[in-house]
Amino acid sequence: MNHPTAIPIVDFAPFLTQDPEAKRLVAQQIKQACQTYGFFYVTGYRLAAAQIEQTFAEAKSFFALPTAVKQQVLRSPQTNCGYVPLAAERLNPDRAWDLKEAFNVGLQTDWPSGLKQFRRVVEQFYQDCITEAALPLLEAIALALHLPESFLVERHGQNFFLRLLHYPAWPHPDNTNQLRAGEHTDYGTITLLFQEHGATDGLEIRSLQGDWLPVPVLKQAIVVNSGDALQRWTNDDWHSTPHRVVLPQGVALGRSRYSMALFCDPNPEVEIACLDTCRDQCPSSKPKPIKFWAA
């Protein structure tokens, strides 16, 4: 679906060249997007559309399994990897339980037995999504903040989590206080979201003016948002924007929604404090530096 959207669209292809001016311009576009919306679309990345589609297909096959099978690999509190059952999370504690299920992939994933193709495809996508999309984006963000391109890359690596998400059809919602995912911010550096082409819309972000804006599904575009860690690094100059996934309207109520999110969080011991290059935005009473694991 191609819809008009206020969210900026950044062509990342020029950043992947060796042209310093082209890279600077892309970095500046990302900076402006994060200062005004905290969200932007990325096109021109190196991941193949066929690989993304294949991973979505494997995710659908997994979520179609009997609940008892999926629950054999329940998410571990120690690793954050594994299956999260339907209505087991509440991102906004003031709402009812979220109408979604998920499977988290990380460095210590407990993979379902007997699903060799699922593991092969998803594990490869997890690795490629990091190397071909997340790390280059972290380089661009560092450049936008007038830091060495390797600055953020060197502070990430242990906390990349890929989350496969399924929002099942819900033709007759019985709780008006229930969403597919309640309002929340992401606590890491950036999140990369893949919305299945042709899927029902539903992702919304809250503007600086307090309005909820749709983030429609755009073909071959990754949705990227800045998180709490990046907002703290820039002393609120870049925004960690509240977002949610609402229930669809009309006939779309009978359709499932699938998405995949790569959460790019700093390593646990990384210090989160006002960056030297952001001192102009940092008052004398800036927050005390903290380690990411204590954030």
Specify if 10 maps to a domain: no
Rounded CA separation 140/23 (Å): 7
SS3 168: coil
CB 232 within 8 A of CB 134: no
Rounded CA separation 295/291 (Å): 7
Specify if 8 maps to a domain: no
Q: How many helices (H) and strands (E) does the chain have?
A: 6, 14
Identify the pLDDT of residue 6.
87
Other beta carbons less than 10 A from residue 55's beta carbon = 23
Q: Which of 170, 168, 161, 169 is nearest to 193 (CA)?
A: 161
Residues in the chain: 295
Specify if 115 maps to a domain: yes
Specify if 3 maps to a domain: no
Number of domain units in the chain: 1
pLDDT in tens, 147-193: 999 999 999 999 999 999 999 987 666 667 889 999 999 999 999 99
Rounded CA separation 45/59 (Å): 22
What residue has token string 């087991």? 88
SS3 263: strand
CB 190 within 8 A of CB 264: yes
273 CB burial (10 A radius; 0-12, 13-18, 19+): middle
| Residues of the chain where predicted confidence (pLDDT) is lower than 50 | 1-3
Q: Supply the range of the domain harboring residue 234.
A: 25-294
Specify if 56 maps to a domain: yes
Specify if 32 maps to a domain: yes
Specify if 13 maps to a domain: no
Q: For residue 97, give every residue at least 6 positions away whose Cβ sits within 8 Å of its Cβ, in sequence order, or none.
A: 87, 88, 89, 90, 178
Task: Report the DSSP beta bridge partners of residue 243.
Answer: 184, 205
CATH number of the domain residue 134 falls in:
2.60.120.330
Specify if 5 maps to a domain: no
CB 262 within 8 A of CB 156: no
Q: For residue 24, give every residue at least 6 positions away whose Cβ sits within 8 Å of its Cβ, in sequence order, or none.
A: 143
Identify the pLDDT of residue 60.
97
